[in-house]
């Protein structure tokens, strides 16, 4: 299995048989090294409906005939764009041919703003617990700090966590440090920072303060190794 980070909240997971993209915000993401018109995907997982997370989902899904797995209202909205979808909800899990997906709580919003300014409600935001090849990855999505993160850490043996640190729209570094203590992931990767001026952060300073697990700053396009 190969895992790579591509700026903002974009994560790619490559198994022996499938390529999975999480929150593929590529066009308009100056930190992303991928190209929306060439990137491959068999599945796309979405945490919520904001434009900087849905990103290029429709184009990528149609070109690759990929399935989009998302919170139910967001999946329903994308199905109207002639995209193949599978809707789920918080607390629900399902086994797919690549592994298991479970959606968790995230404290945030979820809506998609269309080109004419129309705002479409897309249900509840979520985090994603992804179990692939006996490894459990936790993409927290966009979220504030909340105490159920401690419960998720107790319920699941998390190998790698993608934790937002940008502040303003999500938890900032101070709250993210508490989150890492609670979820007890073996590897911590900061995400959702420096894409826009309002979420400018120093990821090196953050990882140096993480006490639980091995924290690593991952540059866009860089693969993350399991030890």
pLDDT attached to residue 225: 75
pLDDT tens digits, residue range 155-203?
A: 999 999 999 999 999 999 999 999 999 999 999 999 999 999 999 999 9
Q: Does domain 2-219 have CATH number 3.40.50.2300?
A: no
Q: Where are the domains of the chain?
A: 2-219
Q: pTM for this structure?
A: 0.97
CA distances from 144 to 35, 41, 67, 75, 89 (A): 30, 29, 28, 23, 19
47: burial class by Cβ within 10 Å (0-12, 13-18, 19+)?
Answer: buried
Contact 161, 180 (CB under 8 A): yes
Phi, psi of 120 (to 5 degrees): -105, 120
Beta bridge partners of 13: 3, 20
pLDDT tens digits, residue range 7-53?
A: 999 999 999 899 999 999 999 999 999 999 999 999 999 999 999 99
pLDDT tens digits, residue range 132-168?
A: 999 999 999 999 999 999 999 999 999 999 999 999 9
Sign of CA dihedral 101, 103, 108, 110: positive
């Amino acid at each position: 299995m190969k895992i790579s980070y591509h700026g903002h909240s974009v994560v790619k997971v490559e198994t022996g048989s499938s390529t999975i993209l999480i929150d593929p915000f590529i066009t308009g993401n100056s930190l992303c090294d991928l190209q929306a018109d060439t990137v491959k995907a068999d599945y796309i997982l979405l945490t919520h409906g904001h434009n900087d997370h849905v990103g290029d989902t429709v184009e990528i899904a149609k070109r690759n005939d990929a399935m989009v797995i998302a919170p139910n209202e967001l999946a329903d909205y994308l199905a109207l764009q002639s995209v193949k979808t599978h809707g789920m909800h918080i607390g629900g899990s399902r086994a797919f041919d690549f592994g298991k997906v479970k959606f968790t709580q995230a404290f945030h919003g979820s809506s998609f703003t269309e080109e004419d300014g129309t705002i479409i409600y897309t249900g509840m935001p979520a985090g994603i617990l992804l179990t692939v090849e006996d490894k459990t990855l936790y993409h927290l999505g966009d979220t504030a700090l909340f105490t159920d993160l401690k419960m998720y850490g107790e319920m699941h043996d998390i190998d790698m966590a993608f934790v937002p640190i940008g502040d303003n729209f999500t938890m900032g570094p101070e709250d993210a440090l508490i989150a890492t203590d609670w979820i007890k992931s073996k590897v911590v990767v900061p995400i959702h920072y420096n894409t826009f001026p309002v979420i400018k952060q120093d990821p090196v300073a953050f990882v140096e303060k993480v006490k639980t697990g091995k924290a690593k700053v991952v540059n866009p396009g860089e693969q993350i190794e399991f030890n």
